[in-house]
Structure 1
Amino acid sequence: MIQDILQRAAASPRLRYARPHDADERLPYFRIQEERGGPAVRLDGAERVMLGSSNYLGLNGDPRVTQAAEEALRTYGTAMNGSRVMNGTTPLHLRLEEEVADWMGEAAALLYPSGYDANVGCISALLSPGDAVVCDAGDHASILDGVRLSGARFLPFQHNRMDRFRAMLDRAIAHGGGVLVVVDGIYSMEGDVARLPELVQLCTERRVPLLVDEAHAVGVLGPQGTGSCAALGIDGDVDLRMGTFSKALAACGGFITGPTDAIDFLRVQSRAFLFTAATAPASVAAALASLEIVRSQEGAQRAQQLLSNAGYLRRGLAELGFEAREPLRLDSGQELPTPIIAVPVGDDELTATMWRSLYDKGVYVNAALHPAVPQGRAQLRLAVMATHTRDHLDHALDAFGKLRVEFPATAAPEGE
């Protein structure tokens, strides 16, 4: 029997992604990072500008965060060796839940070992096979997996298309049963922001709850870094919000915030919370220390520098002839940039070849290939940090300038 399984595995085109050094040096996966992450890092024996990390505020390795983790390590050891329900809760876990709820302006919060677990655990607990979920087609995989695990009817709508959302929402309501809408605040591949005010208005009119995944927005957008909902002024109108510590907050874990009754229900019903070991105390302490920085004036300054860096890099790419999505422009005329910049390429093989060319020039970016993105929509994905200097960004732009000469057909269409 195992041979049949292995034969099917061997036929999978994904298998080549697992063996980059043996199969194809162009493949951008499983590269070896040899030191602490920062704006530049040693990868495969050479220093490269890091434009693929979600260390948005540059807090990974910050002495205050490291010290907090070290103190927790000495106090509690390396692991809790049990679930939160049993022996896995410490004062640190409770304090972080209280701090997150206060930070997000919510009644309660629940910690999960990862952001993936938070989405899967929340969605699969709240829904059943008689329900329906309306999701943006660009939603993170953890959202889609949570829907599948719930058994609820899955109704995706074309990315950020409000006409398609309205149609799917009406279909879900007509289906009967419960309905939940789930979207990303910042979409992890495209780097754009959900049209949250319109989503909130329609959900409120139809009395349908809304869950927003703020994984890439917490620490980055909004007052005190509470995310895209706050940046757009609708955080008080969203029922549930999810976030992670593994990006801007330089730790591990995820969380769900919302009304006390909803969080208490997840505490006893969410299998991804109940049946897994508690987050290591060192990581919880690191998240607490990072959160303190994020909520301070320093955190606001870091977020401002981050978005300034993103704007500088986006403009530079556009000047070189690459297509780079413009940030959302609010009714006030203000732009709402994000730290993620997507450079569309299209073909998987071409994207991998371009990735390798940048890598050889000392620049690491993410290559998003199918199935991470739809077939024919492969892209180079750049993630900026507050701690990138102009020299880092100029080095990257110089590499992209040379790439533009090597692959002239990848320029943005005329007029864009």
Structure 2
Amino acid sequence: MSPISSLEVTLRQRLDERRQRNLYRELKTLAAAPGPLAQVDGRELLTFSSNDYLGLATHPDVIAAQQAGAELGAGATASHLVNGHLQIHRQLEDKIAEITGRDAALVFSSGYMANVGTICALVGRGDNVISDRLNHASLIDGARLCGATSLRFAHNDLDGLQRQLQRAAANGGQTLVAVDGVYSMDGDCAPLAEMAELCRRHSAWLMVDEAHGFGVMGSPQLPLAGSIALAGLGQDDAPVMMGTLGKAAGNAGAFVAGSRALIDYLVQFARPYIYTTGMPPAVAAGALAALEVMQREPERSARLQRNIEFFRRRAAQLQLPLVESASPIQPLLLGDENAVMAVAAELQQRGFLVGAIRPPTVPAGTARLRITLSANHSEAQIDQLLTALAESLGPWAETAS
């Protein structure tokens, strides 16, 4: 058998196996970014699957800023360290530092690159990286690739973290603890104040992925800074903060924020930053405009919080078994992949797009509907979804937990 035909046979076998297990993923094609109505495969649906929590992906000021930013060039033309670091990048980084209350920030092309690059720059052979078992794939892969001893603990288990910190101390070397601030598939927050205290006791460095916290939550002083600020922590407590610009900010790319020394260090040692063409100037301009809108229109965040509270209150009245979450991510665990796909398909028939999440994205036996809320959803739209959800669960209600 030729190498090409052997490859084709292997690929088809693996794809068929995934189809048989009802784990095959299919692309949905949208005509434009949802806001929250969207044309999906030619049909208008009300979407509850977007990470555009503040509705900024379709904000006219943000779109206008992107269009103006394109006048600076279609692309950055080179890596940041060659000639791809433009004034608009510096302005965006200064704004991120201001919003997060940090000394400085560095923009990356994606959150995945930011996490992998930062972990691999900070720790390596002879060091330790400790991770929550439900961390985002980018944190997991960074821990695998960096060469450090990888230790994991059960989700949000402080006793488990303590044990792994003790193991890391016995191993020697530096220790990085990497966790999500808000978990993308569960919607819950890490107990960051307690984790920071454990890290202090063991001289470990705490890194927090704020992809789903940045722009959505914070403290009175830093209302957009994320779960770190919500927990009352500062730069010294959680010295490494990663955030994305493709969720609450409605654009693309990511950043790491921290001390001036941390940012200078990443410029020198974070390979995905060094060896990648810089963020397109249009994206940087759009992201900067989005952050300015966040600051200028705090009612967006307030409206999102009201929508979360309304959703949970009405879901409780309908006796829908939601997972505990105060974030825009509201999971409904069904466990069974067939149930998740059937209910998601029924909702789509009724005019709603909701994410059907199955392994390997989540652990086996925890398939779920991942409902996400936006500041742009009306209470009437949320009520329509909940009514359809209660009716669609039907024969699958007993599997929900």
Normalising by structure 1, what TM-score?
0.91
Q: Distance in 2 between matches of 1:307 and 1:14?
A: 42
Which of 313, 316, 332 is the aligned partner of 1:315? 313
Is the 8 Å Cα contact of residues 320 and 390 (structure 2) preserved in structure 1?
A: no
Aligned counterparts, 1:39-58, within 5 A: 39-58=36-55
Structure 2 residue aligned with 1:272 = 272
* Residue 390 of structure 1, CA deviation: 1.3
* Corresponding position of 1:326: 324
2:6 maps to 1:4: yes
The residue number in structure 1 matching 2:348 is: 359
**Other structure's SS at 1:252 match:** coil
TM-score using structure 2 length? 0.94
Specify whether residues 389 and 24 from structure 1 end up closer, same or farther in structure 2 by C-alpha distance, changes over 3 A only.
Answer: farther
Aligned partners of 1:28 and 1:403: how far apart in 2? 21
Counterpart position of 2:189: 193
In the aligned structure 2, how far is the partner of 1:24 from the partner of 1:182? 32
Provide, for residues 309-336 of structure 1, a one-character-per-residue CA deviation record: whole Å limited to 9, x for no partner: 1222223233333221234xxxxxxxxx
Task: Please give the secondary structure, in 2, of the residue aligned with 1:65.
Answer: helix
> Hey, what's the Cα distance between the residues in 2 that align with 1:101 and 1:112?
14
Matches within 5 A, 1:279-298: 279-296=279-296, 298=297
CA contact under 8 A between 2:332 and 2:400: conserved in structure 1? no
CA contact (8 A) 1:241 1:258 kept: yes
In structure 1, C-alpha distance between the alignment counterparts of 2:23 and 2:46, rounded to whole Å: 18
Q: CA separation in 1, counterparts of 2:135 and 2:152? A: 9
Aligned to 1:227: 226
C-alpha distance in 1 between matches for 2:400 and 2:320 = 5
Residue of structure 2 in register with 1:150 after alignment: 146
Residue 35 of structure 2: aligned partner: 38
Q: Structure 2 CA distance, aligned partners of 1:14 and 1:254?
A: 35
- The counterpart of 1:347, out of the listed 336, 339, 345, is 336
Residue 238 in structure 1 maps to residue 257 in structure 2: no
Q: Identify the residue that residue 161 of structure 1 maps to in structure 2.
A: 157
* Letter paired with 1:341: Q
Per-residue deviation, residues 57-80 of structure 1 (Å, max 9, x unmatched)? 001121111111111112x22212
Q: Is the contact between residue 26 and residue 355 of structure 1 (CA under 8 Å) also seen in structure 2?
A: no
Query: What are structure 1's unaligned runs of at least 5 residues?
Result: 18-22, 328-336
TM-align CA RMSD: 1.9
Distance 2:400 2:359 in 1: 21
Whole-angstrom distance in 2 between the partners of 1:369 and 1:292: 36
Gaps of 5+ in 2: none
CA contact 2:23–2:359 (8 Å) conserved in 1: no
Whether contact under 8 Å (2:323, 2:333) holds in the other structure is: no
Q: Are the equivalent residues in 1 in contact too, given 2:22–2:337 (CA < 8 A)?
A: no
Q: Distance in 1 between matches of 2:143 and 2:45?
A: 38
Q: 1:173 to 1:24 in 2, by over 3 A?
A: closer
When residues 7 and 176 of structure 1 are mapped into structure 2, their CA distance, relative to the original with a 3 A threshold, is farther
- Counterpart contact for 1:27–1:352, Cα < 8 Å: no
2:142 counterpart SS class: helix
Q: How many residues align?
A: 395
Is the contact between residue 26 and residue 356 of structure 1 (CA under 8 Å) also seen in structure 2?
Answer: no
Give the superposition deviation at 1:16.
5.2
Alignment-derived partner of residue 120 in structure 2: 124
Matches within 5 A, 1:39-188: 39-74=36-71, 76-188=72-184
Equivalent-residue separation in structure 2 for 1:47 and 1:26 (angstroms):
26
Residue 272 of structure 1 and its aligned partner are, at CA, apart by: 0.6
